[in-house]
Amino acid sequence: MSHTDIKSLDEFKILARKKTHRVLFNYFSTGAGDDQTLEDSKAAFKRFRLKPRIFRSDPNPDLGVSIQGHPIRVPFGIAPTAIQASAHPDGESATAKAAEGFGTIMILSSVSQTTIEDVRKSAPNAHLWMQTYVFKDRRNTIDIVRRAEKEGFEAIVVTVDSPVMGRFSQIRVKYEEFKEDESEEQEKQNIPMKSLVNVRGCPSDIERAKAAGDVNITQYVRNQIGESYPKWEDLASLRKLTNLPIILKGIISAESAREAVAAGVQGIIVSAHGGRQLDGVQAPIEALPEIVDALTGSNVEVYLDGGVRSGRDVFKALAIGAKAVFIGRPIIWGLICDGTSGVKQVLQHVEDELVNTMSLCGCNRVAEITPSLVMHESQVLSKL
Amino acid sequence: MSHTDIKSLDEFKILARKKTHRVLFNYFSTGAGDDQTLEDSKAAFKRFRLKPRIFRSDPNPDLGVSIQGHPIRVPFGIAPTAIQASAHPDGESATAKAAEGFGTIMILSSVSQTTIEDVRKSAPNAHLWMQTYVFKDRRNTIDIVRRAEKEGFEAIVVTVDSPVMGRFSQIRVKYEEFKEDESEEQEKQNIPMKSLVNVRGCPSDIERAKAAGDVNITQYVRNQIGESYPKWEDLASLRKLTNLPIILKGIISAESAREAVAAGVQGIIVSAHGGRQLDGVQAPIEALPEIVDALTGSNVEVYLDGGVRSGRDVFKALAIGAKAVFIGRPIIWGLICDGTSGVKQVLQHVEDELVNTMSLCGCNRVAEITPSLVMHESQVLSKL
Amino acid sequence: MSHTDIKSLDEFKILARKKTHRVLFNYFSTGAGDDQTLEDSKAAFKRFRLKPRIFRSDPNPDLGVSIQGHPIRVPFGIAPTAIQASAHPDGESATAKAAEGFGTIMILSSVSQTTIEDVRKSAPNAHLWMQTYVFKDRRNTIDIVRRAEKEGFEAIVVTVDSPVMGRFSQIRVKYEEFKEDESEEQEKQNIPMKSLVNVRGCPSDIERAKAAGDVNITQYVRNQIGESYPKWEDLASLRKLTNLPIILKGIISAESAREAVAAGVQGIIVSAHGGRQLDGVQAPIEALPEIVDALTGSNVEVYLDGGVRSGRDVFKALAIGAKAVFIGRPIIWGLICDGTSGVKQVLQHVEDELVNTMSLCGCNRVAEITPSLVMHESQVLSKL
Amino acid sequence: MSHTDIKSLDEFKILARKKTHRVLFNYFSTGAGDDQTLEDSKAAFKRFRLKPRIFRSDPNPDLGVSIQGHPIRVPFGIAPTAIQASAHPDGESATAKAAEGFGTIMILSSVSQTTIEDVRKSAPNAHLWMQTYVFKDRRNTIDIVRRAEKEGFEAIVVTVDSPVMGRFSQIRVKYEEFKEDESEEQEKQNIPMKSLVNVRGCPSDIERAKAAGDVNITQYVRNQIGESYPKWEDLASLRKLTNLPIILKGIISAESAREAVAAGVQGIIVSAHGGRQLDGVQAPIEALPEIVDALTGSNVEVYLDGGVRSGRDVFKALAIGAKAVFIGRPIIWGLICDGTSGVKQVLQHVEDELVNTMSLCGCNRVAEITPSLVMHESQVLSKL
């Protein structure tokens, strides 16, 4: 399968489901609570309809954008997702190589199974951003920022929607369900587990847990992150710590967006954490309009992740006012399917769809993707 | 199964279905008419979306509230539900012990199978409220209020949505359906029936009915309650009868809420009677905004029951303006599963979810759960 | 089965399906086109939610209404439906006896299989209204009006939504479908066919058609009615012809309602012809508000039929402003089930539900069923 | 089957599915992306409800309209669809004969398998319009316009929504899916392929592709059309080239509609290209109101295609303001079923339904089909 053969990104998901362990597929694919936000984040994109303009398209539209002052080839990048080495043996390095080859940004998760240093080694010229939590032990955050700076990462992405973990013991439950028809021992051996090597202050809990036969991945991650309760003071400290742009990921309300501007950040990512934190949160694409509106006049760049499953979705987010979009789960499906090559195919498919959408809507550069080209279904007939 | 293993309260329901008689499961689980309000009461919560604030959460948010002047550990309690001894041998006493141990309010149904006095004996320090109907023979109401006062109950909850019974012969119909594949005699023997011992003026109809082979539970309850047609004069009499706070349960319109304030009550519970009285009634969570609005400036506390199935639902009701929320059916599922322990697990799961939701929304105390943190789906884009 | 055993009118439909021929069940149950209006007429009722008032109900609410100056025991009657002798051997006479015994209005269809005179003989004291088309040969209309007057019918109901027939060859298609597994000859013999005896000017087409082996019922009816294209001049002629109240059945727009008032009619029935004429027509209950609004201040009574499947539906229509409601298909199901007794059970079930709904909403007489007791789902939160 | 036997146009589709090759059925029936616009274009018609007027209908309503100055018997015609000789051996000629016999317009696709000249020969008196792309090599466009003029075509329809192709490799994917259970060789032989003979400048790619065993039809068409990127300058050139009316097909926004007026076109077709170009585009029938509104006062005629599946749909589009409607896929189903006769049956069924709808709504001529006869579901209760 190559990207030119597929109709939609869902085909990567279908293939990935066959190629990975069920426990891991569940870990990557599911959300928190009743999965309302997980599903609604995707459905909400469809509630916006396109309103193309004719006779405006030139060949080869320019997808280039300037993100935090860096020219980036396309207005979409790779969202931070955890434990990529459980998706593919090459893990985060494979993803970084794809980002480098493709010419876009990869946000490296601090909950990774490859070190910051090794990821950089794999992709010396990649646009890398470093995601970090405000860890319970703040020294972990300092350590990660310092190392990211040293390795030439271009921004620090602070996840702000996770003062505590939002997912309950979902994985364990699902695990219990299918134990019935499989040998438990065999089950555990099949799960490709690696330590979370980036959070250096933490003991190697995964190794110990594996020895104890514990396969509850959510619990692993929860232990590494702890209950952190970040505050605006933490952001102020971080602001003093680094000259890198600081991006807040996980804002869904205009009020918090305004406070972020006042706090001097360089960007925010409108995000519901992939539906994995608080279920019932508004879909990012429907929260975007009021946030863009609230930040009019500021220099803070607004990005979005959550529910992006096609180049058309990227286009809609840009039209509403996002500067760029980040893609999460589809990258994991590509990674599972074929490592660096799989990730590139996913990115290429999105690019092809975005180029196509721009051409069909009459846009030759990203700046021409304006609000008049989309309409929310609740606005139908509102002009009459 | 412990509460830390489950993903949602629905798992208690699934387990309870396996552990109880079908006639009783139907009695507890179904609603009136076409079950529209039963289902819509749950669905309506999902039509409100959360809009979290970042960087505000401290560890261990304070869930404490003052309800009718009493400090209560959590802003949710146990709604009155009938015939709990048919759900578990320990019946209402088991539930009261759970409320006591958990530190919240239990509203005891007057249609109980344990006496007021025995419930109090089981849980000497519980915050107990006494539910009562305005019975056809008003002396029953007087008797119940007097005894509740004597046993240190802290409020009288008057059900106001039941001048007549709203459910038709639903149970009988369903009973007929499954008679085909089971011995009718065996069927009857399996249903754990006990008398409705709290309404003392009434004859022991259940014993007689059992002798006659009648298993129509709805009819039992109907006979005990009768057609009562309460009026505001009855409330005035009740007001004179007791100094306990009076709470009206079953208000769904702002007009009746305003009249309740004028009549000098201390609280109202916005409720559709669990979808068991009049089918087609507006979902409580969607009726709540206009009622809260109508009561602005009064000292009357507004509560809600109906469709609450998670801590997120509790949070939404509090955000819109409820002072506290009461939970019905999930308590019964916990009671069926494991008596006092099962009820505690249900309550603990809701608390865990509420704590989680508060932390993820940036609320450290209940007073910080404000309307700006929720948005109805019909309001999407309304600000643009 | 008695009416006290059932949960909803749908149970009569389920039973009727078992008791009648498939061709006839299809004839009675289906609609025109894609059945959009057929289904939407029912669904639209559910989009209105009830907003009860408390502490207002007295025992035994008074359901009596004055319809066209006659006191009628309940605010709902029997809509005109064709070929009732194909539903039950006693046909229209059985229905009339039920109406008489129950104390409400029956509208007799001119496309009946029992004569006006025989129907009256069966039910000497019934409140009978006579439905008529403006037939292609207007002498048929005159004949029917004259005979109805003579037999003491109390009103003339003119169907105004049928200048032509709206249903295409649906029945034939469905008939073809199931021919495969049944002998065609046997099939035809089983269908209880009788002539349309009321339209006297027409030849006995059904007898001839039966001889020719044609079982296309729609075609029968179409031939009897013809293409009539009634005009306001026809109404003026009719107005001169009789002193009986004239009711126009089949109005769905405020404009036509206003014209009807100007033309001097005594009533209109908001109706989509049971979804059997023009598919895609607005649901009657959603057309009702603007029509009631348009007729404020006139003496013209507004009724409704279409999609009424419970006493709650009757209540909603009355609340919005209908003076009475007419019920179609459920009457046929009762008739198929058990003749006069079956129709009475249907009527009684609706009455029981209406009484129950009135009591639960705080209404002691029909005049107290006011608009504030219902809210359309599109109005949720509109007050905030 | 004759048109008088069917209930809806869907029956032609069901029959066509049985009569044609799966690869071709998929080619004709599917859309781009997730098929959102394909499905929504049909569903959106149902969101408009009819509001009939009574007592206005005369027999034999006049369906005649003047389209671009030509009297046309009915206000609906045949939309351009590609490769009709793959649907039926007689191909575009069969369709043209049906249009001629029926008295309406056929828009001939430039991506046809019959030449302009041969189509005209088959139907000397047909109202033929010529669809053309602004081809990559503009000489093809000039050639087609010149030939269409010479053959007495009455208008030039320029597709403006296709600067590039919008469909990805959907057909190939579906083809792969069913290869498993069929011999690939046999598969290819069964597909009735013919060259795209109208675009004369292009080599006979289909013949070559067939020799190479390539059955990817989308790729064929894509190669013929190329990436064209038309501009308003191209329209200006075309304007100078011909005195025939120029119709722009594929406008969905009011802004582009206004620009088309300014550019001096004679008509526009509001269209989403049958959901085959950009998925997510607004449904044509919901885009129509604002476009009609924008063009008030101009002489430019507005037409619509997309999702029209009944005479009721035609009526709704006319009511909102379309001058005429064009029908795509149902024509193909008729063509597959029975060539010229099948297409005529489809047209006749739509006419019958339109006549019926007009009669039932009180319209005797097309000019009487006005906006007050339809209401969008979002406008329910808006008048109150």
Q: Is the pLDDT of residue C2 over 60?
A: no
Query: For an interface test with D, which of A3, A14, A45, A55 has the most D Cβ atoms less than 10 Å from its Cβ?
Result: A55
pLDDT at position B208, please? 56
Which of D3, D88, D273, D349 is catalytic? The answer is D273
Helix (H, G, I), strand (E, B) or coil at A75: coil
pLDDT at position A222, please? 61
pLDDT at position A180, please? 41
Distance from CA of B7 to the nearest CA of C (A): 31
Which chain B residues are Cβ-neighbours of A255 within 8 angstroms?
Answer: 53, 372
Which has the closest alpha carbon to B80: B39, B124, B129, B147?
Answer: B129
Who among B164, B173, B283 is closest to C5 (CB)?
A: B173
The verdict on pTM exceeding 0.95 is no
Predicted confidence (pLDDT) per residue in A10-43, tens digit:
999 999 999 998 889 998 999 999 999 999 999 9
pLDDT at position A171, please? 39
pLDDT at position B150, please? 98
pLDDT at position B162, please? 93
Lowest mean pLDDT among A226-235, A341-350, C237-246, D330-339: A226-235
Q: What's the number of CA atoms in the CB half-sphere (13 Å) around residue B30?
A: 21
For chains C and D, CB pairs below 8 A equal 111
Positive or negative, the Cα torsion across A93, A98, A103, A106? negative
Contact residues, chain B to chain A, C-beta under 8 Å: 4-8, 11, 46, 48-59, 310, 312, 316, 352-353, 356-357, 359-362, 372-373, 375, 380-381, 383-384
pLDDT at position C187, please? 52
Predicted confidence (pLDDT) per residue in D101-149, tens digit:
999 999 999 989 999 999 999 999 999 999 999 988 888 899 999 999 9
**B355: enclosing H helix or E strand:** helix B329-361
Q: Is the pLDDT of residue C16 over 70?
A: yes
Q: Do chains D and A touch (3 or more CB pairs under 8 A)?
A: yes
pLDDT at position C179, please? 42
Predicted confidence (pLDDT) per residue in B230-253, tens digit:
999 999 999 999 999 999 999 999
Distance of alpha carbon D224 from alpha carbon D199, whole angstroms: 7
The rounded mean pLDDT for chain D is 88
Both tokens of residue B87? 């759900």
pLDDT at position B138, please? 84
Q: Is the pLDDT of residue A226 over 80?
A: no
Which has the closest alpha carbon to B245: B220, B228, B261, B267?
Answer: B267
Which has the closest alpha carbon to D101: D347, D350, D349, D324?
Answer: D347
The number of beta carbons lying within 10 Å of the beta carbon of residue B243 is: 8
DSSP β-ladder status, A374-376 and A48-50? antiparallel
Distance from CA of A37 to the nearest CA of D (A): 21
Torsion of CA D369, D373, D379, D380, to 10 degrees: -160
Q: H helices within chain C, ranges in order?
A: 10-19, 22-29, 36-46, 91-102, 116-122, 138-150, 170-179, 184-190, 205-211, 217-225, 232-241, 254-262, 284-294, 311-320, 329-361
Cβ(D198)–Cβ(D110) below 8 Å: yes
Distance from CA of A182 to the nearest CA of D (A): 30
Domains along the sequence of chain C with CATH: 3-382 (3.20.20.70)
Q: What are phi and psi of B321, to 5 degrees?
A: 135, 0
pLDDT at position D175, please? 35
Predicted confidence (pLDDT) per residue in C79-88, tens digit:
999 999 999 9
Positive or negative, the Cα torsion across C223, C225, C229, C233? positive
Q: A168 pLDDT band (50/70/90 cuts)?
A: low
Q: Is the pLDDT of residue D221 over 90?
A: no
Which residue of chain C comes nearest to D316, CA vs CA?
C280
pLDDT at position C183, please? 47
Predicted confidence (pLDDT) per residue in A283-299, tens digit:
999 999 999 999 999 99
pLDDT at position D180, please? 41
Lowest mean pLDDT among A224-228, B154-158, B166-170, B224-228: B166-170
pLDDT at position D23, please? 86
Predicted confidence (pLDDT) per residue in A352-369, tens digit:
999 999 999 999 999 999
State the DSSP code for C5.
Answer: G
Helix (H, G, I), strand (E, B) or coil at C269: strand
pLDDT at position D219, please? 58
Contact residues, chain A to chain B, C-beta under 8 Å: 33-34, 36, 160-164, 166, 168-170, 172-173, 227, 229-232, 234-235, 248, 250-253, 255-256, 259-260, 277-283, 286-287, 289-290, 293, 376, 378-379
pLDDT at position B168, please? 57
Predicted confidence (pLDDT) per residue in A110-139, tens digit:
989 999 999 999 999 999 999 999 988 888
Averaged pLDDT for residues D34-52? 97
Distance from CA of B258 to the nearest CA of C (A): 11
Q: Is the pLDDT of residue D332 over 60?
A: yes
The number of beta carbons lying within 10 Å of the beta carbon of residue B241 is: 15
From residue A323, alpha-carbon distances to A65, A272, B285 in Å are 8, 17, 37
Predicted confidence (pLDDT) per residue in A198-208, tens digit:
776 645 554 55
Averaged pLDDT for residues B213-228? 60
Q: Do chains C and A touch (3 or more CB pairs under 8 A)?
A: no
- Pick left, alpha or beta for residue B237 (phi over 0 → left; psi -120 to 50 → alpha; otherwise beta): alpha
pLDDT at position B228, please? 85
Q: B14 pLDDT band (50/70/90 cuts)?
A: very high
Q: Which residues contact D269 (CB under 8 A, 6 or more apart)?
A: D157, D247, D248, D249, D250, D251, D303, D304, D305, D326
Predicted confidence (pLDDT) per residue in C262-318, tens digit:
999 999 999 999 999 999 999 999 999 999 999 999 999 999 999 999 999 999 999
Averaged pLDDT for residues B117-125? 98
Predicted confidence (pLDDT) per residue in B250-278, tens digit:
999 999 999 999 999 999 999 999 999 99
Q: A150 pLDDT band (50/70/90 cuts)?
A: very high
Distance of alpha carbon B335 from alpha carbon B113, whole angstroms: 14
Predicted confidence (pLDDT) per residue in B300-310, tens digit:
999 999 999 99
Cβ(D75)–Cβ(D323) below 8 Å: yes
Q: B195 pLDDT band (50/70/90 cuts)?
A: confident
Predicted confidence (pLDDT) per residue in A188-199, tens digit:
555 666 777 777
Q: Is A333 exposed, middle or buried (0-12, 13-18, 19+ CB in 10 A)?
A: buried
Contact residues, chain C to chain B, C-beta under 8 Å: 4-8, 11, 46, 48-59, 310, 312, 316, 352-353, 356-357, 359-362, 372-373, 375, 380-381, 383-384
Q: Is the pLDDT of residue A279 over 80?
A: yes
Averaged pLDDT for residues B46-54? 98
Query: For an interface test with D, which of C169, C214, C295 has the most D Cβ atoms less than 10 Å from its Cβ?
Result: C169
Give the per-residue SS3 of chain D: CCHHHCCCCHHHHHHHHHHCCHHHHHHHHCCCCCCHHHHHHHHHHHCEEECCCCCCCCCCCECCEEECCEEECCCEEECCCCCHHHCCCCHHHHHHHHHHHHCCEEEECCCCCCCHHHHHHHCCCCEEEEEECCCCCHHHHHHHHHHHHHCCCCEEEEECCCCCCCCCCHHHHHHHHHHCCCCHHHHHHHCCCCCCCCCCCCCCHHHHHHHCCCCCHHHHHHHHHCCCCCCHHHHHHHHHHCCCCEEEEEECCHHHHHHHHHCCCCEEEECCHHHCCCCCECCHHHHHHHHHHHCCCCCCEEEEECCCCCHHHHHHHHHHCCCEEEECHHHHHHHHHHHHHHHHHHHHHHHHHHHHHHHHHCCCEHHHCCHHHEEEHHHCCCCC
Predicted confidence (pLDDT) per residue in D222-251, tens digit:
666 767 899 999 999 999 999 999 999 999
Distance of alpha carbon A277 from alpha carbon D232, whole angstroms: 50
The answer to whether B173 contacts C53, with C-beta atoms less than 8 Å apart, is no
pLDDT at position A176, please? 40
Q: A379 pLDDT band (50/70/90 cuts)?
A: confident
Helix (H, G, I), strand (E, B) or coil at B320: helix
Helix (H, G, I), strand (E, B) or coil at C318: helix
Render B177-239 in DSSP notation, one character per residue: HHHTTS-HHHHHHHS-----TT-TTS--HHHHHHHTT---HHHHHHHHH------HHHHHHHH
Cβ(B323)–Cβ(B75) below 8 Å: yes
Strand partners, B19: none
